């Protein structure tokens, strides 16, 4: 089973604040699992896909400005 990460864990990986992670989830950029208490948990593989997609977008953007 995939490891589950908290907002704080994901924020550290992305080098952003937890509010940014919550915004990303709200806008459908990263999928979260909600606990009965409403806590967001993120599958590690889902976060990794987001990181890879973000790297690819940055590479395209940087290439366009070269």
pLDDT digits (tens, 9 = 90+) for 5-63: 999 999 999 999 999 999 999 999 999 999 999 999 999 999 999 999 988 888 888 77
Q: Which CATH class is domain 4-64?
A: mainly alpha
DSSP alpha helix (H) spans, 1-66: 7-14, 18-26, 44-64
Q: pTM to 2 decimals? A: 0.81
13 C-beta neighbours (distance < 10 Å), count: 16
Question: What is the rounded CA–CA span in Å between residue 58 and residue 38?
Answer: 32
Place of tokens 């952003």: 16
pLDDT at 1 over 70: no
Question: What is the rounded CA–CA span in Å between residue 37 and residue 53?
Answer: 30
Residue 2 has a pLDDT of 82
DSSP helix/strand/coil, 54? helix
pLDDT at 65 over 70: no
Question: What is the rounded CA–CA span in Å between residue 50 and residue 58?
Answer: 12
């Amino acid at each position: 089973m995939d490891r589950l990460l908290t907002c704080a864990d994901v924020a550290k990986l992305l080098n952003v604040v937890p509010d940014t992670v919550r915004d990303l989830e709200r806008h459908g950029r990263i999928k979260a699992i909600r606990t009965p208490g409403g806590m967001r948990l993120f599958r590690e593989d889902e976060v990794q896909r987001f990181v890879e997609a973000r790297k690819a977008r940055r590479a395209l953007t940087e290439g366009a400005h070269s």
